[in-house]
Structures are given as C-alpha cells and as structure tokens.
Amino acid sequence: MRVVVAGGAGFVGSHLCDALLARGDDVIALDNLSTGSVENLKAAGEHERFSLVECDVAREVPVLGAVDAVLHLASPASPPAYLAMPLETLAVGSEGTRRLLELAAGSSARFVLASTSEVYGDPLEHPQREEYWGNVNPIGPRSVYDESKRFAEALTFAHHRALDAAIGIARIFNTYGPRLSPGDGRVVSTFIAQALRGDPLTVFGDGSQTRSLCYVSDLVAGLIALLDTDVIGPVNLGNPLEFTVLEIAQRVLEATGSASTIVYDALPTDDPTRRRPDIARAAALLGWSPVVSFETGLARTIEYFRSIVL
C-alpha cells in the first residue's frame, strides 16, 4: 500500500511509520515539525520506501499520485503544546482534517482519524464506552483540543454519510513509550525526566486523578488493525489498566531507582478526574487488546530516556 501518515514525525506517528515500512508499505509522512522531530524518523529515513514532506496540513497537502490510505495523526497532543498553540490546534482538527479527507477521496483511499479519549472530557461514565457522548467544557482552555477532535470526528462522519468516504475513527487513550519528548509536559515523560535528573516529581492536584496507560507498540498494532478493516468506529484504543497520577509517580521512582521527592502543584483547569477505556468494541471488531505490561513498557521508556540528552 502507499500510505500517508500526517503527523508522522511525532511520537505515535513515527512508530506507526516504522511498523508500516516493516510490513512492506510505502510511507509518506507529512509533518510541520511543530512538536515532532526528524530525529524520530532516523530509522524510517534510511528506508527507500519512505519520504517526509514538511508542510502544515491545515494549509496544504502536497501529495502527488494515488494513495491507498491516509492516517491523520497531525495535532499538538500534550496539554502544554495545545494550550500554547490554540489556533493551530483548532486549524489542524478542522481545516487539516478537511484537506486530508479530500486527499483520501481523490484516490478512494481509506481515511483513519486519530481522535482522543479527550472527546469524553471529564467523564461522568466510567469506564468510557464509545456510546458515551462526553462532558466537555466548550469554552475552557482545553476546548481547543477537545472540540477540535470532536469537530474532526463530526467532519469525518459527514464525509462518510454524504460522500461515502471509507473512514475509521480511533479514540486513543493516554499512550507512552520511547520518543515521547522529555519536555512535552505529559505525565510519563515529565516524571521520568524529573526522576533521572534528580528533580522533584510535579504531581498536579492531590494526584488522585486517574489515567490508563497504553504502551506505544500496542497502540500502533490497534491503529494498523483498524486500517486493515472496514470498521468505521469510533473505536477506543487504550489499556484499561488504571493508575492514579500519584501511583504513576511512585512507579517511576521505583523503576528508575531515583531519590527524587514528590511535590504538589496546582491542578490544571478542567483536568479530567478519571479515565479508563472500555475496549470491548476493539476486541470484538478488531481482535485487538494490549499485551505489554506497565513494568515492561515503563522499563523500555526509561531505557530510551537514559539514552537521550535530558
């Protein structure tokens, strides 16, 4: 297949490019390098079936010739990144999604959207099933990301209903692993970087809020399973193993052997209280479930962070 990965230089996108290349696909990554990096594509870049086109997909999508699939992962994803780029985040979810849907339509290609658990907002149902409509503050600071993804889902579904587009929507829950950027402010990357530097771990609020953490190779396997079917979704992709943020800090301290302390900072506005995917739909329709334990995934991520300059 000739596959376009928008956001291919990012954390998840670069692992996805590697996996698609490994199975024989031709891969074209589109990325404006706003939060991703060429370094993430070091292995992919050595492949003759790979190319990177530097562009802002909200403004232009310069892909020539027929393609078989378009995967849309382009978007700032960590809260500090999307809060610093509010208009760009809304643009890539709206205009970027429209341009990539049109690219796919030009070749009758399958379009896969990387949506997010954040469409459930601060969920009143637990765990979150795909039928749940969510609890999102439409004007709060996080809305630039949440509503951008909700609009992207609506636009993708409208193209399916009105234009018969072949679509698949993944609602991705918190994912971690090598190539997370140490300065991106996300919980696992921040805690590991702080622990390895010997700095205090910054727990926001009292640390009782929960997240469910999925290792990146599991997520990529789920995205490829979705790509290879005609399942429309939305389908939750995540690991139902749920931890409090304080537990995540403690597990990072244990796994790194760090003597860092824990300090408490203010909870960000609208920070969701609980989050855990119900993955019954992914299991039934894609035959997918995560297989990497938190111990193993955390050890691999720490090994990566030890190998880079922090």
Please list the active-site residues. 145
State how far the Cα of 305 lies from the Cα of 3, in Å rounded to an integer.
30
For the chain, the C-alpha Rg in angstroms (whole number) is 18
CB of 30 to ligand NAD, least distance (A): 6
Here's the x/- map for ligand UDP, 31-70, by CB under 6 A: it reads as: ----------------------------------------
Q: Which of ligand NAD, ligand UDP, none does residue 10 bind (CB under 5 to 8 Å by kind)?
A: ligand NAD
Q: Which of ligand UDP, ligand NAD, none does residue 114 bind (CB under 5 to 8 Å by kind)?
A: ligand NAD
State how far the Cα of 240 lies from the Cα of 278, in Å rounded to an integer.
7
- In the complex with ligand NAD, the residue whose CB is nearer, 207 or 238, is 238
CB of 308 to ligand NAD, least distance (A): 15
Q: Are 145 and 138 in contact (CB under 8 A)?
A: no
Q: Are 86 and 144 in contact (CB under 8 A)?
A: yes
Site for ligand UDP in 176-205 (CB under 6 A): 185-187, 190, 202-204
Site for ligand UDP in 147-176 (CB under 6 A): 174
Among 3, 4, 7, 128, binds ligand NAD (CB under 6 A): 7
Here's the x/- map for ligand NAD, 77-106, by CB under 6 A: it reads as: x--------------x---x----------
Q: Which of 219, 206, 221, 212 is closest to 267 using CA atoms?
A: 206
CB of 190 to ligand UDP, least distance (A): 4
State how far the Cα of 150 lies from the Cα of 20, in Å rounded to an integer.
27
9 binds ligand NAD (CB under 6 A): yes
Q: Which of ligand UDP, ligand NAD, none does residue 190 bind (CB under 5 to 8 Å by kind)?
A: ligand UDP
CB of 184 to ligand UDP, least distance (A): 8
Among 128, 156, 209, 301, binds ligand UDP (CB under 6 A): 209
Here's the x/- map for ligand NAD, 114-153, by CB under 6 A: it reads as: x-x-------------------------------------
Binding site for ligand UDP (CB under 6 A): 78-79, 174, 185-187, 190, 202-204, 209, 211, 245, 268, 271
